[in-house]
Amino acid sequence: MKKLSLIGMGIVNERSIPLLGLDRLKEADLIFAELFTSILEEGSLERLSQLAGKEIRLLDREDVEETEMVLGAFENADRICFLTAGDPLSATTHQEMRLDAEKRGVEVEIINAASIFTAAPGISGLQQYKFGRTTTLAFPEEGFFPTSPLDVIESNLERGLHSLVLLDIQAHRDRYMSAPEGAALLLRMVEKKGGSPIGPETMMVAVARAGHHDRKLVYSSLGKLSNMSLGPPPHCLIIPGKLHFLEEEVLDSFRVE
C-alpha cells in the first residue's frame, strides 16, 4: 500500500526531528517539505537531507495547497514523506493533504514532534491546562488592524487563564515579528479599543527561541517589553492569568524590572 508520512521536524533544527522521522526519510522514495509559516535554524533542511542521504524538495505555499503536486507523485512512488516544522497537521492545508491522500487510498502516517504550543508554556513555567485559547498577532496591513487578538486575551483573563500569543512569520518575505514588536502592537490595540484590563503595566512573558540552546525568557511589563531587544526569531508572548505560587516562582526567576 502506498504511504504518505506527515513528519514533524520540531522547533529547533535538523536534530529536533524524532528518530522515527529520520527512519522514514531514509526509506522514502520522495521527500517534500514546507516551511512557510515556521522557522528552523539556517541550513537545517540541507543538513537533514545529508542525514537522510536524499534530496528534500522545498515547496511553495501554492504547491502545498494544490495537493496534486505532492499526491500526484504517488504515480511513480510508494513512500512519500512530507516534512513540516513543529507538529504536523496543525495547518488547514495539511488536513486537506491528508484527506485527499485518504481519498486516493493512500495510507497516512503521522509522526508527531515538538510544537511551540507546548514548548512555550513549559519553558515559561506556566501550566499547560491553565491556558485558554491561543491567538496570533499578524503584521498590520494598510487599513486593516483588527483588535480580535486582544478580545481573546481579555476573554482568557476573565477566566483566570493564560494566553499564548503567537507572532506572525512570513518566511517567504524573511519577516518575523519580534516579541517587542508584538508588545507594541498589543498597546496599539488597547489604544484603538479604548479601555482594556491590559495596559503598559501588565506583566507578561516574552519567549525567544524556545527549545534552542540560546533561548531567552523575560518576565516584565508590556511597556518595558515593547522597548527591549531579545535577539533573533522565533519569539512569542504569554499573558499570564491567575498564578499558582510555583508558577510565580518560575516567572520571578527571569523577571526584569
C-alpha distances (whole Å) from 246 to each of 27, 100, 119, 134, 249 are 46, 46, 18, 23, 5
Q: Residue 146: how many CB atoms within 10 A of its CB?
A: 12
Find the shortest distance in angstroms from Cβ 92 to a copy of itself: 6
Nearer to a copy of itself, 160 or 197 (CB): 160
Find the shortest distance in angstroms from Cβ 3 to a copy of itself: 11
Find the shortest distance in angstroms from Cβ 191 to a copy of itself: 25
CA-to-CA distance for 118 and 123, rounded, in angstroms?
9
86 and 10 in contact (C-beta within 8 Å)? yes
6 and 91 in contact (C-beta within 8 Å)? no
By DSSP bridging, strand 175-176 and strand 169-170 are antiparallel
Nearer to a copy of itself, 58 or 91 (CB): 91
24 and 111 in contact (C-beta within 8 Å)? yes
Nearer to a copy of itself, 122 or 140 (CB): 122
Nearer to a copy of itself, 226 or 243 (CB): 243
Find the shortest distance in angstroms from Cβ 184 to a copy of itself: 22
| Binding-site ranges for a copy of itself (CB under 8 A) | 8, 10-12, 14-20, 22-23, 86-90, 92, 95-96, 98-99, 102, 109-115, 117-119, 121-123, 125, 127-136, 155, 159, 161, 166, 210-211, 213, 215, 244, 246-247, 249-250, 253
Find the shortest distance in angstroms from Cβ 255 to a copy of itself: 13
Find the shortest distance in angstroms from Cβ 193 to a copy of itself: 19
Nearer to a copy of itself, 48 or 189 (CB): 48
CA-to-CA distance for 107 and 125, rounded, in angstroms?
38
The region that residue 61 occupies, defined by phi over 0 for left and psi between -120 and 50 for alpha, beta otherwise, is: alpha
Written as nine digits, the cell of 120 is 512555550
**What single-letter amino acid sits at 84?**
T
Nearer to a copy of itself, 124 or 226 (CB): 124
CA-to-CA distance for 86 and 100, rounded, in angstroms?
22
Nearer to a copy of itself, 71 or 161 (CB): 161
Written as nine digits, the cell of 247 is 508558577
Find the shortest distance in angstroms from Cβ 146 to a copy of itself: 15
**What single-letter amino acid sits at 194?**
G
106 and 3 in contact (C-beta within 8 Å)? yes
